[in-house]
């Protein structure tokens, strides 16, 4: 947060903040995992607005509270959303705006914000655009091999790096295992009952079984308390330097990985620009990236012409019917008059049939 406060551009001046109590420096968007009334209050004190999902939205609002709004998404597309807004005293600590989106099926998504100036539409678009992060990583893993190893070299981890204490991890595993056993025994003890006629033999067997379970529960409880005490006495995190020699490890080298990942991100941005270009002419805009992936693997003829100073790239037709989309690409690329690196040949794109 201190780094964001220092480096985010176009923040209001202290004088502007003092003159307008509702003005904020910037907006921090995060998922419901970061939901905390105390955290929202601390951000507000720093004049930082937040935008997040409501972790405990409660009952649905009446449908008549919602009205249709035209919302411009981060992709530039304009969609209709049914939105409603109320004020909410969050956790008895801070007043925030609660904006809900209602789908056609009646499902309501609740968004909280301490931005007291912006319209609900842009705020909803910004919150739901957060999914682009998950979509990005999913797409990069699937089509760009983001998780693939670049090399198998390793490097030392700095001694000051904190890791989970192996001793704590072992004790924690034992505690969890015993806790599960105890829970099952308690459930069995609660479900145990005497059914049918009350006969001396049945009562004796019932009491014996009940006593055996009680004894097991008491033993597990004592053992669990001892393990919890041992776990409490052990540090949860220690530094690499504090690890026993047998427990030390290395990490995969990151230098090459960072370089390759940067190249992949540059390629993804270029693909994204091409996808935006494709959507200008496409009826089904969701097919833009699939057409691009097919285009990247399509064969092409390279025809250099020294006299005309051109390098013609004739793209072969694909199995699916997307020739018009490819023609649109060729026309747009030719407008850039790009020169092939290391030569004086201007790139000219066209279909073989053209």
- Residue segments in the chain with a per-residue pLDDT below the cut of 70: 75-76, 194-199, 201-202, 285, 319-324
**Cα–Cα separations (whole angstroms), residue 272 to 263, 267, 269, 344:** 14, 9, 5, 28
199-249 residue pLDDT tens = 676 677 777 888 888 888 999 999 999 999 999 999 999 999 998 888 888
pLDDT for residue 246: 86
- Backbone φ and ψ of 2, nearest 5°: -60, -35
pTM for this model (two decimals) = 0.54
Strand ranges inside the chain, DSSP E: 27-29, 49-53, 67-72, 78-90, 94-102, 108-113, 154-155, 162-164, 237-239, 251-252, 300-305, 310-315, 346-351
Q: β-strands 67-72, 49-53: how paired?
A: unpaired
**Integer Cα distance of 108 and 100 in angstroms:** 6
**Integer Cα distance of 94 and 50 in angstroms:** 12
Under DSSP, the state recorded for 120 is H
306-327 residue pLDDT tens = 999 999 999 887 766 666 677 8
Considering only CA atoms, which of 36, 50, 53, 38 is closest in space to residue 1?
Answer: 50
Beta bridge partner(s), residue 51: 29, 113
């Amino acid at each position: 947060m201190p780094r964001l406060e220092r480096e985010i551009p176009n923040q209001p001046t202290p004088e502007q903040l003092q003159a307008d109590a509702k003005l904020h420096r910037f907006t921090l968007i995060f998922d419901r995992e970061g939901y905390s009334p105390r955290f929202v209050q601390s951000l507000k004190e720093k004049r930082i607005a937040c935008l997040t999902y409501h972790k405990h939205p409660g009952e649905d609002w009446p449908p008549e509270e919602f009205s249709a709004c035209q919302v411009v998404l981060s992709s530039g597309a304009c969609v209709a959303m049914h939105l409603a807004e109320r004020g909410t005293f969050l956790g008895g600590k801070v007043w925030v705006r609660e904006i809900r989106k209602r789908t056609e099926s009646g499902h309501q998504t609740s968004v909280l914000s301490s931005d007291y100036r912006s319209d609900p539409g842009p705020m909803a678009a910004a919150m739901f655009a957060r999914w682009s992060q998950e979509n990005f990583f999913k797409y990069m893993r699937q089509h760009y091999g983001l998780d693939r190893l670049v090399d198998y070299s390793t490097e030392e981890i700095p001694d000051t790096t904190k890791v989970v204490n192996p001793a704590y991890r072992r004790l924690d595993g034992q505690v969890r295992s015993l806790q599960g056993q105890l829970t099952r025994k308690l459930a069995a003890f609660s479900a145990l009952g005497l059914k049918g006629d009350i006969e001396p033999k049945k009562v004796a067997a019932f009491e014996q079984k009940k006593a055996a379970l009680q004894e097991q529960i008491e033993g597990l409880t004592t053992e669990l308390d001892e393990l919890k005490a041992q776990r409490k006495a052990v540090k949860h995190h220690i530094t690499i330097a504090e690890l026993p020699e047998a427990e030390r490890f290395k990490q995969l080298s990151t230098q090459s990985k960072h370089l390759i990942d940067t190249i992949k991100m540059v390629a993804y941005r270029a693909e994204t620009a091409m996808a935006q270009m494709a959507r200008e002419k496409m009826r089904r805009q969701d097919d833009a990236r699939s057409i691009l992936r097919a285009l990247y693997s399509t064969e092409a003829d390279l025809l250099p012409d020294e006299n005309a100073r051109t390098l013609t790239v004739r793209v072969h037709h694909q199995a699916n019917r997307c020739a018009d989309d490819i023609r649109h690409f060729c026309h747009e690329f030719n407008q850039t008059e790009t020169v092939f690196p290391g030569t004086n040949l201007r790139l000219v794109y066209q279909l073989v049939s053209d």
